């Protein structure tokens, strides 16, 4: 090597490293969360990924959402996984032959040509579509991006607000822990305890080939996930009273934020967004009425089957901070809780943990029972900024950028030490890093 003409390569910047993760996880039409562990397209991952991707390529970000929405069901649901047919069946469990969407989901309008799961994930999509549009309005208008997205997103929200109003309060229920996206959160322990697990020998987990067993949900959890999904499938994915139905504050807050975004989209398309803003306000009131716990100063999950609040503190209960029209006293209380002993921000933890530091079930490494995740922290960062907490938002942003790069864009980290857990090169960690850098 001629040192005069060939200087040593400098280390890539976090921006370039994050872009490389998204490039490596791009399949040509969408982005996988992780090449090894999650080799298909996931619903809420794609929404977060599009939010970051818009800074690299607005076209790719639009395509990401279009690919997902091409797999939408006739009843409006957006499936939580869109399977890539070129990936071997045993690469991920449950695989398409478990969900059997195109046959079992015939009456609920599952697509014929693409295989999907039959459950959903949090509705971040309208929010993502709006942010993607705003990154390059010229390209978006030229491609008719919002005009094509709007009716589909409206149908998605209609599905959630009607077919999924299992509690009768006007809010959406999840019917499986995978739907809320925080699979083994201690919030599900009580409602799941009523579900008889499917026998362990009746299925084969693929996740353990990629993740340490002590970082993942247990076999007992999986037995219950399989039982619930099997029963839903065997009912043809028709919604109605089932064994598990929970109203979750993060899921509903994201629906409300997305409803506000749909109002913006409607206005951009020349219609009026007034009715959507009004609906978002009604939903916010219902959320407070149904799930706010003034003693714990946070939102709790509502177990529709028992009619009770679930007395566990999960990061999901802080995420409504995202809502700009949250009453001032509630926003202030949420900020206090996030920075208090249960979540430790600015004191004992580097990022907000997924679950109560003082909770009996807390485990700093086990998936959604303690570790810190980048998507939930990104939502909190947005919330802090929205409510004028600039210094705290800046501190959280700095910690996220530091730990995302240091952990090689890990799926999740130990909330105290920042040690990487789960997969590295994780899609939304890289995407949301890019968003924070802009
Ligand atoms: C089940 C893809 C998904 C995330 C979820 C996360 C995890 C799947 C799994 O991975 O769930 O959907 O197999 O564990 O919990 O939030 O969307 O990244």
In 245-389, which ranges are continuous DSSP H helix?
A: 249-268, 274-291, 328-338, 374-386
> What SS3 class is residue 349?
strand
Query: 38 in ligand 1 pocket by Cβ < 6 Å?
Result: yes
Query: 177 in ligand 1 pocket by Cβ < 6 Å?
Result: no
For residue 176, how far is its CA from the centre of ligand 1 (angstroms)? Answer: 12
Tell me, what's the pLDDT at 11?
A: 83
Query: 183 in ligand 1 pocket by Cβ < 6 Å?
Result: yes
Q: Provide the annotated active-site residues.
A: 183, 411
- pTM for the whole structure: 0.97
Query: 181 in ligand 1 pocket by Cβ < 6 Å?
Result: yes
- Bridge partners of residue 293, in order along the sequence: 298
Query: 412 in ligand 1 pocket by Cβ < 6 Å?
Result: no
Q: 10-residue block means of pLDDT along the chain (438 residues)? A: 64 94 98 96 98 98 98 98 96 97 97 97 98 98 98 98 98 98 98 95 91 89 97 97 96 98 98 96 98 98 97 98 97 98 98 98 97 98 98 98 98 97 97 98
For residue 103, how far is its CA from the centre of ligand 1 (angstroms)? Answer: 24
For the question of an ipTM over 0.90, the answer is yes
Nearest protein CA to atom 4 of ligand 1, as residue? 181
The rounded distance, in Å, linking the Cα atoms of 196 and 243 is 10
For residue 180, how far is its CA from the centre of ligand 1 (angstroms)? Answer: 10
Tell me, what's the pLDDT at 436?
A: 98
Tell me, what's the pLDDT at 303?
A: 98
- Bridge partners of residue 194, in order along the sequence: none
């Amino acid at each position: 090597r001629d040192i005069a003409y060939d200087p040593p390569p400098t280390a890539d910047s976090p921006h370039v490293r994050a872009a490389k993760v998204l490039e490596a996880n791009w399949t040509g039409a969408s982005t996988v969360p992780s090449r090894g562990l999650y080799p298909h397209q996931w619903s809420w991952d794609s929404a977060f990924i599009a939010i970051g991707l818009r800074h690299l390529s607005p076209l790719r970000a639009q395509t990401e959402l279009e690919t997902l929405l091409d797999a939408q069901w006739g009843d409006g649901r957006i499936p939580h996984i869109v399977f890539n047919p070129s990936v071997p069946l045993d690469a991920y469990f449950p695989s398409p032959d478990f969900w059997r969407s195109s046959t079992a989901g015939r009456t609920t309008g599952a697509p014929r040509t693409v295989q999907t799961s039959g459950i959903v994930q949090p509705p971040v999509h309208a929010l993502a579509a709006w942010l993607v549009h705003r990154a390059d309005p010229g390209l978006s208008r030229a491609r008719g991006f919002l005009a094509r997205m709007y009716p589909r997103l409206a149908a998605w929200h209609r599905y959630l607000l009607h077919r999924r109003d299992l509690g009768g309060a006007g809010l959406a229920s999840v019917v499986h822990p995978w739907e809320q996206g925080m699979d083994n959160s201690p919030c599900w322990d009580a409602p799941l305890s009523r579900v008889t697990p499917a026998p362990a020998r009746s299925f084969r987990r693929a996740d353990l080939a990629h993740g340490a067993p002590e970082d993942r949900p247990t076999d007992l959890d999986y037995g219950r996930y399989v039982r619930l999904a099997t029963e839903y499938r065997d009912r043809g994915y028709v919604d109605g009273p089932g064994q598990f139905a929970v109203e979750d504050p993060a899921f509903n807050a994201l629906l409300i934020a997305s409803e506000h975004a749909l109002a913006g989209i409607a206005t951009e398309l020349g219609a009026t967004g007034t009715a959507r803003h009004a609906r978002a306000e009604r939903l916010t009131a219902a959320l407070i009425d149904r799930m706010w716990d003034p003693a714990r100063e946070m939102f709790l999950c509502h177990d529709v089957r028992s009619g009770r609040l679930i007395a566990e503190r999960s990061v999901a209960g802080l995420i409504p901070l995202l809502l700009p029209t949250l009453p001032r006293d509630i926003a202030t209380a949420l900020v206090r809780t996030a920075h208090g002993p249960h979540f430790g921000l600015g004191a004992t933890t580097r990022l907000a943990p997924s679950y109560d530091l003082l909770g009996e079930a807390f485990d700093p490494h086990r998936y959604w029972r303690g570790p810190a995740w980048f998507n939930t922290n990104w939502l909190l960062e947005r919330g802090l900024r929205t409510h004028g907490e600039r210094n705290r938002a800046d501190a959280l942003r700095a910690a996220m950028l530091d730990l995302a790069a240091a952990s090689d864009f890990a799926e999740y980290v130990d909330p105290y030490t920042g040690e990487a857990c789960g997969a590295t090169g994780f899609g939304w960690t890289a995407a949301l890093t890019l968003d924070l850098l802009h």
